[in-house]
Each structure stands twice: as structure tokens, then as C-alpha cells.
């Protein structure tokens, strides 16, 4: 369908839309924090360098006002978060009550404005998907935030706000799928007893926040699959086809929210899972036909090269673009200019982190524990139906 045809047909589904912002380009949690690395700005730059992000598909994210965030967060917490940004310090009472000014959730220059921008994107996405479509917000996915406190690098919980926005805009049954290496404790807290929200999480067992044990189902539709370190692409393929897709198809959602955290790949320092980015892209592609509304969020990801490549590939998958075997010089220049300095060492990229988007597949044997846990949850599915 041409642009002219879309313009003349108000009922036509628009092409996928990308919500981003320049606030992420120079914002950092601090020189020592895992979120010191650029992520969203790299995805924006790579997508544009490849001709994949024309202005018509890009939306500048609004910044959510505090009143728009009270569907999940308390007014007292939001006031404390804004005050901490303004003063650039917190009292011990605020630190203890609201989790601000901690090593995980430090005081930094944009500590309200940055998460309020990603939350604004999720709120807007729910409105824009009123009549269907696909939206990508790589800055989203802050799935640990709690109503009255910051938690796990997350000051606000934009996935919860996205689900609430989708529901206000006509989506009754919503499937939330999370493939971040860490369990989405804040999202489960919000919807554990909601029968109209299906939650599926695949996360590393015994990894912070050490929640989401298999069988932790609440009273709603919660399916947690903790996996041992070393999860490979073959095992993830089994999980996708034998658990995730059947669950979502049976649930029949009006909308799907996918949290596509990039910290489950081999190169990421915050997990011991060993996926390639092909595994994430397979999930992105497979879920798309299962609901008329599709929102894909980012999440974890702490190696600037692997997260930038993975999330740029997500945008390619959503648009059915062919991913080149070798990146053009402009794209290689963007990746080559990234740095990853830490308190104790300077990280240097592997050659393929500069030259390509696609990882070599990381297939392997399917361990008995993975088969058994998938079978156990699939058995719950039979009862659930």
C-alpha cells in the first residue's frame, strides 16, 4: 500500500511506529553504573543510517506529567522523585522509604525526566494502538518499578502504565511477555490477580530480584519460567513454540506487550544466559500475528554494542526489512564510535560487533531441566484452558 493510499483510507493500519527521544543521548546513571552506556540513541542512529527510520514513522516521546503516573505510582513517591531531581540529593528517610539515592537507583540529572519520558511513550502507545498496529519503544521496559519506590534501575514502571493505557483504549485482554534475563517483579505485583492479563516471563533462575519461581502463579494468569545459566537458542526455540505461542494463542489477547530486554545474550555482563540476538528476533516475529495491537519495549541490556545491534534488529523485524550480512560504512562508524569504559577496565569490541547486526546462532542441546519445566507449565496450560 502506498503512502497516498494510506492517507485516503482512515481505517488502514499504519506502518510500525518508533517512539524515541533525544533525552537518552547524553543521559547517564553515572560513570560507574551499568546504565552508563548509550542504548536508545544508538538504535535511532543505526536505524536512520540504514534508511529504516523515515520521519513519518518516528514519534518524539512526550514526558508524562505526574498526574498521568498515579494509575500505578503513589503521589508521595512521584513528589519525592521530582524533588530528588531538583535538589540532586535525598534525605536518608527518602532513601529508605522510596529507594532513591541507592547504588541501583542513584541521584542523577534527569532522574525524573528520563523515566517520565519512557513512561510517556508507553502511555501514548496505548492511545495510538486504539485501532490496532505496531509500536516500538526501546526506551521502555522498566519492569521492576514499584508503586512507592524505585527498584532495580527502574524509577517508574512503564510496562504497567502501558497495559493500563491499552485497557483504557479498548484492549480488554492483554498478554505481557517478558524475555529479559530478570524477572518482572513490578509487573507481576500489578497484575498477579488479574484474569485478563496473561503474564509470561522467561528469566534466569537465582538472578536478582530472585522472584518468579516456577509455580508462582497468584490468582491470575501468571506463567514464570526460570531457566538455568547457559540457556541457548535451541532451548529458547523450544520455549517459544511449546509454551509462549500456545499460551498466547489460547488466551486470545486484544493486545500483546513484549518486553525485549537484551541482557540474555552471551555478551551481556548482567546475566549468564547465552542467547544470540536471533532468539529475541524470533520471539518478536512470532508474536506479531497473534493480536491486533502489538507494543514492543526494550528493557535490560548493558553491553552497548550487543544491545544496540539487537534492538536495531527488532525494528527491522517489525518492518520486514532484510538485515544485511555486512553493515554499510555509516552504520559501522556508529558502532565503531561507541565506548564502554568502567571503573576498572576499558571494554573493547569484537570485530563482528562493528561489522554486523546479526549474531552467529548459538544453538546447543536441550537440557532435561528445560524440557521438564516447559512440560510442567504446559500442563498448567491444559488445566487453565
Active site residues: 144
- Per-position b or e across 267-282, b if 16+ CB within 10 A of its CB: bbebbbbbbbbbbbbb
189 close to 341: Cβ distance less than 8 angstroms: no
Q: Which residue stretches of 155-199 are H helix?
A: 158-168, 185-191
- Per-position b or e across 326-335, b if 16+ CB within 10 A of its CB: ebeeebbebb
159 close to 177: Cβ distance less than 8 angstroms: no
What are residue 203's DSSP bridge partners?
Answer: 226
170 close to 249: Cβ distance less than 8 angstroms: no
Give which of 254, 251, 258 is closest to 284, Cα–Cα. 258
Query: Rounded to an integer, what distance in angstroms lies between the CA atom of residue 251 and that of residue 201?
Result: 15
* Full DSSP string of 353-383: HHH-SSPPP---PPPHHHHHHHHHHHHHHHH
Q: How far from 130 is each of 10, 124, 256, 258, CA to CA, in Å?
A: 13, 10, 13, 17
Amino acid at each position: 500500500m502506498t503512502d497516498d493510499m494510506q492517507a485516503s483510507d482512515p481505517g488502514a493500519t499504519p506502518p510500525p511506529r518508533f517512539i524515541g527521544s533525544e533525552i537518552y543521548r547524553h543521559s547517564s546513571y553515572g560513570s560507574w553504573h551499568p546504565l552508563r552506556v548509550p542504548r536508545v540513541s544508538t538504535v535511532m542512529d543505526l536505524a536512520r543510517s540504514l534508511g529504516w527510520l523515515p520521519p513519518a514513522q518516528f514519534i518524539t516521546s512526550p514526558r508524562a506529567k505526574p498526574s498521568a503516573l498515579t494509575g500505578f505510582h503513589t503521589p508521595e513517591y512521584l513528589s519525592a522523585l521530582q524533588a530528588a531531581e531538583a535538589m540532586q540529593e535525598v534525605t536518608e528517610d527518602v532513601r529508605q522509604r522510596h529507594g532513591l539515592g541507592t547504588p541501583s537507583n542513584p541521584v542523577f540529572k534527569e532522574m525524573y525526566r528520563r523515566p517520565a519520558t519512557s513512561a510517556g511513550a508507553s502511555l501514548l502507545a496505548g492511545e495510538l494502538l486504539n485501532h490496532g498496529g505496531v509500536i516500538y519503544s526501546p526506551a521502555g521496559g522498566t519492569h521492576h518499578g514499584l508503586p512507592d519506590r524505585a527498584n532495580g534501575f527502574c524509577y517508574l514502571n512503564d510496562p504497567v502504565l502501558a497495559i493500563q493505557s491499552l485497557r483504557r483504549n479498548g484492549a480488554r485482554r492483554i498478554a505481557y511477555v517478558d524475555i529479559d534475563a530478570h524477572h518482572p517483579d513490578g509487573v507481576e505485583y500489578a497484575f498477579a490477580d488479574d484474569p485478563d492479563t496473561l503474564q509470561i516471563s522467561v528469566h534466569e533462575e537465582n538472578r536478582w530480584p530472585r522472584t518468579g519461581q516456577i509455580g508462582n502463579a497468584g490468582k491470575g494468569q501468571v506463567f514464570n519460567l526460570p531457566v538455568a545459566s547457559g540457556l541457548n537458542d535451541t532451548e529458547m526455540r523450544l520455549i517459544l513454540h511449546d509454551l509462549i505461542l500456545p499460551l498466547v494463542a489460547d488466551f486470545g489477547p486484544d493486545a500483546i506487550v513484549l518486553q525485549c530486554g537484551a541482557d540474555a545474550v552471551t555478551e551481556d555482563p548482567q546475566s549468564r544466559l547465552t542467547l544470540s540476538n536471533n532468539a529475541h528476533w524470533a520471539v518478536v516475529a512470532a508474536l506479531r500475528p497473534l493480536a491486533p495491537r502489538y507494543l514492543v519495549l526494550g528493557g535490560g541490556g548493558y553491553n552497548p554494542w550487543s544491545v544496540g545491534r539487537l534492538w536495531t534488529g527488532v525494528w527491522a523485524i517489525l518492518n520486514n526489512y532484510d538485515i544485511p550480512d555486512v553493515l554499510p560504512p555509516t552504520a559501522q562508524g556508529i558502532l565503531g564510535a561507541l565506548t564502554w569504559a568502567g571503573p576498572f577496565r576499558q571494554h573493547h569490541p569484537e570485530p563482528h560487533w562493528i561489522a554486523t547486526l546479526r549474531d552467529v546462532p548459538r544453538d546447543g542441546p536441550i537440557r532435561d531441566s528445560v524440557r521438564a519445566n516447559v512440560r510442567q507449565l504446559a500442563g498448567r496450560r491444559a488445566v487453565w484452558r
